[in-house]
Structure 1
């Protein structure tokens, strides 16, 4: 069973039909995958009952049930019990939704006789646990992305563990503004300035901010202008500059644990993804270092450079990995009976 997309209408059902997934899965497995165009009912029950030992069946998108008063996303007790009744053992390998309590993960795991982790889920959790609960030092956290508000809990949790915290991306400019610097038209969360001031005052010995910036007069992929210190009013900072790249690279040298979440700039633009690519290369060169990268744009940079094998772990879960790094429990993981 699996979900795909967000199903809110009949049009969405057509768009997110899992039949194509079943066909692709058949190719990958080298064997036929029986597809059942149903999420409940006699057709599904009969197909499961008739399924020969060792064969594979994929039912229709679990999110189809969201047209039934969001039964899947709201973890309907009735739906979870029903799906659990269709199996003997439940294996959850969907780390990407482990931070959500859905009928297809928590609901089934809470009602089935036996449940356990799949290999991917097991690797995700063990890698993140190592980074949060038993890391080797020196420990460097590299945090980027657009908004401080998206990463407050991650910042607060990791700064207590890490020896250094390097902050880049759009979120860095709220911190720079909190220090009294002019940031031009760069992204600013004014309602997070007090948090930024308190955070910097408390952890000034750990936090490292950009010292130069790749800027533009417009939000487009044009040649950057580089500024140190204050940014002129008309300019928008879209990436870290070369001196900051060197500063961050030097801070990474000798690290035994690195957790990286979030890009250093606007990775959609060739001229403003250079900081993110530089961090990817710097981390990939570290020796005897346990390195984790998570977040869509950061992972995309690693894949773009074909450096997946240079990192100890490349996380598949955006929201799930973020919540784990915040120190929160993941419902989809906690509901599993056999976690080892």
Structure 2
């Protein structure tokens, strides 16, 4: 898989798939611009090399219908603030007006196309929709790891028609996640919390093959008991024994977790260990965060709520890498082939 730095982008028309699917309020105001900031190094790299830059992304799930709240105007404004560079905003992502703008733009501006999910063809993975972009650009760069597990037209379809590669953040995601699954420094401790779902349970079963220990939260423990589910490497699973309140984890349980974390050389943590939306239930999660910082291990953290909490507490910089991949991260670490990555091969 080629990356952005393998291309000569000078004066080339480059389409960059970004992950601007960020938290917003009922009026469409941005609540957290973390993903926008993750996109900046790729965009800045292209600016310094005089590329003609067009950005594309989706926001929310409008199901193929235009919704005012899900327009990308406020994201364009935020990009202007961070880049200190002109960023124009199109009213659509395809069509004559978009084509006209792209064919006349130069290296002194950036164009942000409108929400791709305003078109049902994007959601359906319609390659004829993807083909519409191939006539306008010379290079496609995918910087959206979080959506690589889904066959969206602008994720997995466009590389069928354009010379393509990975953006700087997508490449960084892969490089860091590979440190978990490709001969990691041992002991490898995996911590998985939050609400249980099929992806998490499958991930636990797969990661147990290489992990030294897998620590699970109370909600996942309850789900496993309900399903009477056992893993292939059951002896590696560490549960919050004797603890029934799923809102947080207490001192005795934390001491058990602390012992394993202190021995770790590599740590992957995804999902909180309590109902951290309420401050009184965040103590266990914050305790674990501090233990990881003290361990000195290579550490990766993921999960939107968990990242938000630790950012607010000033603890996020203690981690080696922050993955924003969500479900894509768990699937990648489980050994699944992600359509967006396969398309770049």
**Same fold flag (TM > 0.5):** yes
SS state of the match for residue 259, structure 1?
strand
Q: Which residue does 1:210 correspond to in 2?
A: 240
- Counterpart CA distance in 2 for 1:9 and 1:85 is 23
How far off is 1:255 after superposition? Answer: 0.8
- Counterpart CA distance in 2 for 1:275 and 1:138 is 22
Q: Determine if the alignment matches structure 1 residue 270 to structure 2 residue 279.
A: yes
- Counterpart CA distance in 1 for 2:96 and 2:279 is 53
Q: Determine if the alignment matches structure 1 residue 80 to structure 2 residue 130.
A: yes
- Counterpart CA distance in 1 for 2:218 and 2:174 is 26
For structure 2, list consecutive stretches of 5 or more residues without a partner in the other structure.
Answer: 1-55
How far off is 1:84 after superposition? Answer: 2.3
Report 1:137-176 matches (<5 A).
Answer: 137-147=186-196, 149-175=198-224
- Counterpart CA distance in 2 for 1:139 and 1:163 is 5
User: How many aligned residue pairs are there?
Assistant: 290
Q: Which residue does 1:242 correspond to in 2?
A: 251
Q: Determine if the alignment matches structure 1 residue 4 to structure 2 residue 53.
A: no
Contact map agreement 2:160 2:343 (CA 8 A) in 1: yes
Residues 41-60 of structure 1: CA deviation (Å, up to 9, x unaligned): 21111100110134211111
Contact map agreement 2:218 2:243 (CA 8 A) in 1: no
Q: Determine if the alignment matches structure 1 residue 304 to structure 2 residue 312.
A: yes
Q: Which residue does 1:28 correspond to in 2?
A: 82
For structure 1, list consecutive stretches of 5 or more residues without a partner in the other structure.
Answer: 179-189, 216-236
Q: Determine if the alignment matches structure 1 residue 55 to structure 2 residue 109.
A: yes
TM-score normalized by structure 1?
Answer: 0.81
How far off is 1:108 after superposition? Answer: 1.1
- Counterpart CA distance in 1 for 2:193 and 2:319 is 18
Quick one: which of 288, 291, 294 aligns to 2:299?
Answer: 291
Residues 87 and 163 of structure 1, relative CA distance in 2, 3 Å threshold: same
Residues 207 and 166 of structure 1, relative CA distance in 2, 3 Å threshold: same
- Counterpart CA distance in 2 for 1:61 and 1:257 is 38
- Counterpart CA distance in 1 for 2:272 and 2:333 is 17
- Counterpart CA distance in 1 for 2:197 and 2:136 is 44
SS state of the match for residue 293, structure 1?
strand
- Counterpart CA distance in 2 for 1:303 and 1:63 is 29
Contact map agreement 2:214 2:236 (CA 8 A) in 1: yes
- Counterpart CA distance in 2 for 1:174 and 1:102 is 31
SS state of the match for residue 57, structure 1?
strand
Q: Determine if the alignment matches structure 1 residue 314 to structure 2 residue 331.
A: no
Residues 124 and 45 of structure 1, relative CA distance in 2, 3 Å threshold: same
Contact map agreement 2:140 2:164 (CA 8 A) in 1: yes
- Counterpart CA distance in 2 for 1:149 and 1:116 is 31
Contact map agreement 2:125 2:152 (CA 8 A) in 1: yes
Quick one: which of 147, 152, 155 aligns to 1:97?
Answer: 147
Max radius of gyration: which structure? 1
Let me know the Cα RMSD of the aligned residues: 1.8
How far off is 1:73 after superposition? Answer: 1.0
